[in-house]
Amino acid sequence: MEILKIDKNQGLALFIQRVLVGFLLLFHGIANFTSGYAFIKSVFAGYGLPEFFAYGAFIGEIVAPLLIIAGYRTRLAALVLVFNILVATLLAHAGDIFALNQFGGWAVELQAFYLFGGLAVFFSGAGALAFSKNNYWD
């Protein structure tokens, strides 16, 4: 049936993926920004690390998602996002990696979504619907 035929649109699919990963992580970034990174500072302090490292979350949770959404230096921004999520998971959720939540789901499924979503954006690149498409990091 010709009416059920849907053409593949890889550019649109990559755009949706970029916007989804970037937009959802941006909410976390804004929440951390408005709190002055208090929770993140306390996590770093608990490990004996300098609290100013918490401001790296600004780059990983606000700047990188905005670049990913726009499609500008998308692969570089995705690497920053992945590094940010790895650090956050290892510092704040290490005890949950092999645990289930109260509903039977993986306790770090949200972190896994951002991690693997960021990796998918890194490996796929920005796609056709991006601000910049000609740079190695796009």
Q: Which residues does 109 contact at the CB level (< 8 Å), separation at least 6? A: 101
Give 93's contacts (C-beta < 8 A, 6+ positions apart). 107, 108, 111
C-alpha triplet 36, 62, 108: angle, nearest 5°: 85
Residues 30-64: tens digit of each pLDDT: 999 999 999 999 999 999 999 999 999 999 999 99
Tokens of 86: 């790895």
Which pLDDT band holds residue 1 (cuts at 50, 70, 90)? low
pTM > 0.75: yes or no: yes
